[in-house]
Amino acid sequence: MKKVATAPRARTSPKVSVSELNIRKTAANLLTVKLVSTEISYVQRVLGNTATQEKIAETVLAVRRMPWSDIAVPE
């Protein structure tokens, strides 16, 4: 019997909920200071209901470098 070479499967990260608790935990692991509620709301708006943990971490780091006018929702 011949062995057929198959391509390795791509690893996909499981999606988790983009909840306030998950965002706060990610920020605690990555940052020295806590995120404020406006920053958490921004992350939730950008990512939607579910995202990979890597995407949450990437967005949490990015939100700290953004200007406040991009994060806050105008009233």
**Rounded mean pLDDT, 55-64:** 95
DSSP for residue 1: -
pTM attached to this predicted model: 0.79
Q: State the pLDDT confidence band at 12, using cuts at 50, 70 and 90.
A: confident
Q: How many domains does the chain have?
A: 1
38 falls within a domain: yes
55 falls within a domain: yes
Q: What is residue 4's predicted lDDT score, i.e. its pLDDT?
A: 67
66 falls within a domain: yes
3-class secondary structure, 36: coil
56 falls within a domain: yes
6 falls within a domain: no
Q: Give the domain range for residue 32.
A: 15-70
